[in-house]
Structure 1
């Protein structure tokens, strides 16, 4: 799936993921969003909630992906919890200094929804 989104060079200097692997990680987030994203909610400048359809192995995929993302970008805080109507809520928080990264993630997710 191709979406019009910001360029891939939004990873901050705090990210330890090797540069050649960054497009692959972005593609993993895009695939998660394409498979299950229902809505995007900006709770605060530093907080984002993604509502995912909890089908198949989405929970395991989201847990694995967010754990790997936190390992390379330790400023991210991810929390998964059940929502209503078969939803899985993925809450993401960053410090104020990393709002641009959260903005980019929100833009990628929103692009999937159209």
Structure 2
């Protein structure tokens, strides 16, 4: 959405996003595992488009490495990435988060999701 969009355009964007996204929560303990190590663990996980978003507080901060990489989702906003450094191995841009998600994605504020070989499982 354009930065100069009118409020009615913002509402229309949010409605379109809700057609494409399924947002749900998990009530069981979920883990994110990479290189044999648990990276995150929580029972407060939000699932969006098949991706499990863990609360930032559930992550092992000592294995996270900030990245300059970003990407843009039309309904969630700008994603920022983190690399993982576990057991002497690096997994570049294996986690992402939206520090200022658009209103349609407010549920994932302060949450992090994984990919690139990170297993998310109960």
Higher relative contact order (CA 8 A, sep 6+): 1
Greater per-residue strand proportion: 2
Please confirm whether the aligned pair reaches a TM-score higher than 0.5, indicating the same fold.
no
Question: Normalised by the size of structure 2, how large is the TM-score?
Answer: 0.31
Greater per-residue helix proportion: 1
Larger Rg: 2
